[in-house]
Structure 1
Amino acid sequence: MAHARPARRRAGGVRGSGRSRAAVQGAPGAGMKLLSYAGGFGRVEDGAVVPMGDDLAGFLATGAVQTGAPVPLASVHLWAPVPRPGKVICVGLNYRDHAEESGQPIPDEPVLFAKFANSVTGPGETIVVPPAVEQPDYEAELGVVIGREAHRVDERTALEHVAGYTCVNDVSARDLQFRSSQWLLGKAIDGFLPMGPWLVTSDEIPDPQTLRIRCEVDGETVQDSSTAQMIFGVAELIAFVTRTISLEPGDVIATGTPPGVGMARTPPRWLRDGDEVTVDIERVGALTNAVRMDAPMGGTG
């Protein structure tokens, strides 16, 4: 279940293609929190959602608001802040201790791979593990949502292109991931990128390298670190990526996970049927998803 914590100015829900504008930059009104949900988009006021239609991109471009009757926040089914990102750039081995626990050398430059929109799922949704996967693992990560087109940007100005931040769980199938030198098969699985519960705008987090990041599995803390421990910070990652890959509003960067993943434990701690996983990032929020092991076709369990 998603944890609806109070917030000063948060945004959840850039719906549609990755070309939609994700930032709440220039949006009118202090303390605004926008959510994406099954009925469209809206802002949260006093525990209720005030509908604003389904054209968040138009709202961000013009500031025009068409409000409807408020509905209780508890009745709203939240989506991922960016349900259909144009690009999801993931960063591997971006915490020194995680690289060491994985038996990998400390990288000299960011290790990048991709996930796709099929992997994205929202808060409270179930992580469905297909029968082909025997070693599903959790990875708590800070997600960066791009709000302004970025092409060959300088590290000093890179954060100006950030719309805001969200929680990400880079669920990974370790048995498939390490079958070859390419990680795609074990990473880009349907529903293996929970994201949410909302997007906290960048004006609330001027320095993304100061956030405590935690992961719990069934109430047990399995990861507990700080984004200060990243090898490559958010600004450096944006500058590195945009040397060759342009980023557009709604694109997401998953910035890597701290130590404590299941594969590094003795014995390994793989996700199992019925587990509940929570990614909790200071000043961002908490993202919770249950795990279900899918039965083979024609099977019973």
Structure 2
Amino acid sequence: MDERDNHLFLLIKVWRIYVHTLVCFAAIQVYLFEYERRRSERRNLGNRTFSRLQIRSIEIQRITRASDTNCIWELRMDRNAFVMSCELLKTLGGLLDDGNVTIEEQVATFVHILAHHVKNRSIQVRFYRSGETISRYVHRVLLALLRLEDLLFVKPTPIPDDCMDSRWRWFKFVYVLSGWEGSSTDSRVLRDAINRQNGLKVPYGNYYLANAGYTNGQGFLAPYRGTRYHLQEWEDFDRAPRNHEEYFNMKHLQARNIIERCFGLLKKRWVVLRSSSFYPIRFQGRMVIACALLHNFIRMYMDVDPEEYTPITLEVANWGRHTK
């Protein structure tokens, strides 16, 4: 009986060892399977990350390096001007390459938003970036660009009568005041611009042309009121002026048409200025200044402005005529 008990005890002991071995083997198999699964996920994640980096790099190169045509279509400037803008924003504007987003991608994203008025989510799809990343770097580029106001806002200089440069009509902006409500009167906005500490300054002995919404004053010249002025008024009568007031208004209008065309080119170049924006109001005001600065930059660093040779549609010319 004792011998049978010993055999039974040994059999149970062997069976327990066998079961424990199977359990350990199964646990090892589960661990190895889970380890391999996580390793595969990390590998796939790395492949997806590499794929995103590759697609993003290809997209940036296609826009900024493939051809001047692509660069002008997407960013409104040629490749040389784009490189110059990145260098200026880096050296003078303080824009940094933190290793996550290159300066070229930061600038291209910002300018693309101004040129095409696209939403944050559209940029996410195109450049494989999160909305927070896009917003953060767009604000960085905007602040860096605003630091270049002293460089890009030109100093007004009179044009001599014997000027032979055909680009004298390439007017540039000297000052921009944004943020006023559209219902504000013209004189109130002008008064605010003049009275600011770093506001609009009129060079001594010169003047700015103003429309009939303003009054004549030191540094500002408005047309005669009650005298024909606009083109449709000249078409109803003989085109020759009949007195000195009409002659003055005709010359005033001819000069102002060039200025109006400059605003038309600005809105034609930057689609973000043509319609209601979906960005915060403070950001909208700064975007107007940024558009003027980039407009001046393009006219400084490009020998040929492609917008000069394409017609301005009536919709673009009339949009925002009375906005501040």
Identify the TM-score tier after normalising by the shorter chain. Answer: under 0.3
More strand by share: 1
Larger radius of gyration: 2
More helix by share: 2
